Amino acid sequence: MRFPPVATRARGRIGYFLAVEVLWLLGALGVVLLVVTYLAGPTGRDELMFLDGDSMVVPLFSRSILEGTATNWAMSAVLFVPEIIVFLGLSLTGLGIQEVQFVAAVLNFLGLYLVFRVAAVSIIRGNRAALAASAGFVAVCLLALTESGGDGDSLQLASLMATTTYYAATVLGALVSVGITRRIVGKASPSAALAVLLFIVASVSVFSNPLYLAWATAPLVIIVLVVCAGAGWGRSRTWALAALVAGSVLGYLLRIPIAPWIVADPDNYFQPGRSRNSFAYYCSLLLERLSSPGGVLAVAVVLALSILGVWLTVRSLRQGAVASAVVAAYSWFAPLATTVGFILMGTEAARYLQLWAFAPALSLVVWITDAPLTSRAETPWRRLTAVAAIPALVGGVVFAAALPAAIQRATIQDPSLTCAVSWVNESGAVGAGQFWTVRAVKTHIEDPTKLIQTDFALRDYAWLVDRADFAQPVVSFLIVDEQSSPFTLPPAAEYLPSTTIDCGRFQILDYSPMSITRP
């Protein structure tokens, strides 16, 4: 069958367009592997990625689903739905838990490039839009490369994208919502497909994590109302707001049937009487971040991008570029507004301020996509593909250079963890430990129910764990480390002799053949 010349040219342009996108994506993949390999290394955030107590909830929950034991989980306000789905899919490939965590980190950062690409809007402009997405993406990656250490409660926020727990899916959901909103409000007539897509993203995101309401729903509603007020209202704006609000409402309503699994106390998230303490807390985190050269660089970059966002907001409004103004305004207004909001609520959690690591980079996306065009119309498609091959080539070289180290980081387990896991597996006994200590070992042992998560008095500690584990009343060993509070044993076991097994960061206090009955 022969196609008409016009159809042939159209198919050719689509093919070149796809080639351009794939080449830029390959370039991003090289950067991703470099960043995740650094973060998973001993000078990066390996402890946060592979040993942190919070970071184990998705692996533990996924294991319980695969093994058919997910019966009575105690979850926080966050359900980690997209993260668990991805983790389950990767687990089915036969990879080990740490390998899955590493690959999930790669996918999170690759998803970051893709959501910036959505925000770049233009399909026809090819290299221009992909370059804009890459600029924003690389800016965030540079921030991540300035971060190190195992502390999850600091203003080292960009590297949290490498974990399965610290709201990576919510960040991506918020940013892609900004991109979709830009596409909707930029159209003269409503786009039902985009509105439905925004509705679905909002529903899933709120169902998984209500923080989306603060990171996306509230700031986007305010921005669209304000930006569009002076530019004339249209049906597209109505559709964008309706999809965003309706999706958010549905997502919240869907949480009602699973309320028994959510043990988080709402009062812990709203303490306006502690606003001053909250302000002092976040100021102390900022001063701590500024105490190192990398931190100074990161803060300077974020500040510069935020100022650029303010300037682009004003410029876009003056030019009547409503869609661009929405993204530019979000780049600085959303992190600023959420910070003020969380201070007024009296919160003390650095991870709530993650938008500072990701939203300001959207200003680069707007700046590049809205830059004056020159001779784009005369640029041959083959030349566009050739230009796109440059980042792909650079990314390929980086990928090849980083791959050996990446494989090592993903496969070689912390010696202390290996020691503790081996001892527990070989003992066949039931033990206990506190949240920050026991969870990494619990995740990796053959039978996670053999380790019970307790408090310092061996009472049940129902937080991000299956409460079915608490059915076992007797333990014969305890796992402790520097993060553990001293255990207070029941009076009957207070003077039991124990043997200490030294596993580096973990110490195992073995009371066998005797045992301890938990209160």
From 388, 407, 426, the end of a domain falls on 407
Q: Is residue 375 part of a domain?
A: yes
pLDDT in the model for residue 83: 97
Q: Does residue 370 sit in the same domain as residue 496?
A: no
Collapsing DSSP to helix, strand or coil, 442 comes out as helix
Q: Does residue 497 sit in the same domain as residue 429?
A: yes
Q: Name the pLDDT band for 270 (thresholds 50, 70, 90).
A: confident
Q: Name the pLDDT band for 478 (thresholds 50, 70, 90).
A: very high
Distance from C-alpha of 494 to C-alpha of 418, rounded to nearest angstrom? 29
Residues 371-397: what's their mean pLDDT? 67
Statement: residue 376 has pLDDT above 50: no
Q: What is the pTM of this model?
A: 0.94
Q: Does residue 102 sit in the same domain as residue 225?
A: yes
Distance from C-alpha of 178 to C-alpha of 194, rounded to nearest angstrom? 12
Q: Does residue 206 sit in the same domain as residue 327?
A: yes
Distance from C-alpha of 380 to C-alpha of 387, rounded to nearest angstrom? 11
Helix or strand holding residue 39 (H, E): helix 5-39
pLDDT in the model for residue 225: 93
Q: Is residue 104 part of a domain?
A: yes
Statement: residue 20 has pLDDT above 90: no
Residues 208-215: what's their mean pLDDT? 97
pLDDT in the model for residue 4: 53
Q: Is residue 59 part of a domain?
A: no
With b for 16 or more beta-carbon neighbours within 10 A and e for fewer, the 269-305 pattern comes to: beeeebeeebeebbeebeeebeeeeebeebbebbeeb
Q: Is residue 47 part of a domain?
A: no
> Residue 467 is part of which domain span?
415-517
Statement: residue 377 has pLDDT above 60: no
Query: What confidence tens digit (pLDDT) does each residue in 362-372 have?
Result: 999 999 988 77
Share above pLDDT 90 across residues of the chain, in percent, rounded to a whole number: 77
Distances (CA, A) of 474 to 142, 368, 444, 458, 478: 49, 63, 21, 10, 11
Query: What confidence tens digit (pLDDT) does each residue in 281-291 have?
Result: 999 999 999 99
Q: Is residue 45 part of a domain?
A: no
Query: What confidence tens digit (pLDDT) does each residue in 38-59 have?
Result: 999 998 899 999 999 999 999 9
From 407, 426, 457, the end of a domain falls on 407
Number of domains forming the structure of the chain: 2
Q: Is residue 51 part of a domain?
A: no
Query: What confidence tens digit (pLDDT) does each residue in 114-138 have?
Result: 999 999 976 445 578 888 999 999 9
pLDDT in the model for residue 6: 47
Query: What confidence tens digit (pLDDT) does each residue in 493-505 have?
Result: 988 999 999 999 9
Q: Does residue 125 sit in the same domain as residue 193?
A: yes
| Closest to 391 (Cα-Cα) out of 121, 15, 30, 13 | 30
From 407, 439, 474, the end of a domain falls on 407
Statement: residue 110 has pLDDT above 60: yes
Q: Is residue 64 part of a domain?
A: no
Q: Does residue 238 sit in the same domain as residue 329?
A: yes
Average pLDDT, the chain: 91
Q: Does residue 149 sit in the same domain as residue 28?
A: yes
Distance from C-alpha of 462 to C-alpha of 465, rounded to nearest angstrom? 6
- The residue length of the chain stands at 519
Q: Does residue 388 sit in the same domain as residue 477?
A: no
Query: What confidence tens digit (pLDDT) does each residue in 401-427 have?
Result: 999 999 999 999 999 999 999 999 999
Q: Does residue 341 sit in the same domain as residue 451?
A: no
pLDDT in the model for residue 165: 92
Q: Is residue 329 part of a domain?
A: yes
| Closest to 468 (Cα-Cα) out of 488, 448, 487 | 448
